[in-house]
Amino acid sequence: MNNLSDKHKQVLQCAIDIYGREAQRKMIIEEMAELTKAICKEDRASKAFNAKKSAMLEAENAVIEEMADVQIMLWQMHLMYPDCNNYIDKKIDRLAGRLGINKQEPSETQSPSELMKLLSTAAFLGRSLRNAE
């Protein structure tokens, strides 16, 4: 949310003001359902026997587009529920503890790209362990 320009925040707040909180809450449910459906289609496309590269690319692009819709709605939810960041910090700290990532002083923190590499490695190892069972 902090990366949004003031103009984007203004547009998102305007959507909340015009459509109403209840409508936007229902809209995020709809957008999340569309993302779920797109992810399922992408999984099916990737597992299809003679899947065409174009079909797999189309399915991936649909996921990306739905992710954008969900993200926009999540930003609106942040405007409606500003205390969310407190929970995000707590939950990321808890996840870091589960992943064995030590808490560091702010000057020593890992960059977002380093953290993403670490999380990707952890996810890969988790999948590898599950597949080995």
Q: Tell whether 5 and 69 lie within a shared domain.
A: yes
| Residue pair 108/115 in contact by the 8 Å Cβ criterion | no
Would you state the pLDDT for residue 53?
Answer: 83
Q: Tell whether 51 and 10 lie within a shared domain.
A: yes
Would you state the pLDDT for residue 128?
Answer: 54
Q: Tell whether 132 and 71 lie within a shared domain.
A: no
Q: Tell whether 3 and 64 lie within a shared domain.
A: yes
| pTM, 2 dp | 0.71
pLDDT digits (tens, 9 = 90+) for 52-103: 888 889 999 999 999 999 999 999 999 999 999 889 989 999 999 999 987 6
Q: How is residue 121 written in tokens? A: 């490695």
Candidates 7, 29, 38, 39; CA nearest to 73 is: 29
Where in the sequence is the domain holding 118, given as residue range(s)?
88-133
pLDDT digits (tens, 9 = 90+) for 3-46: 889 999 999 999 999 999 999 999 999 999 999 999 999 998 88
| Residue pair 56/47 in contact by the 8 Å Cβ criterion | no
Q: How far, in Å, CA of 35 to CA of 26, rounded?
A: 14
Q: Tell whether 14 and 71 lie within a shared domain.
A: yes
The one-letter amino acid at 26: K
**Number of domain units in the chain:** 2
Task: Indicate the residue among 57, 82, 107 that finishes a domain.
Answer: 82
Would you state the pLDDT for residue 107?
Answer: 44
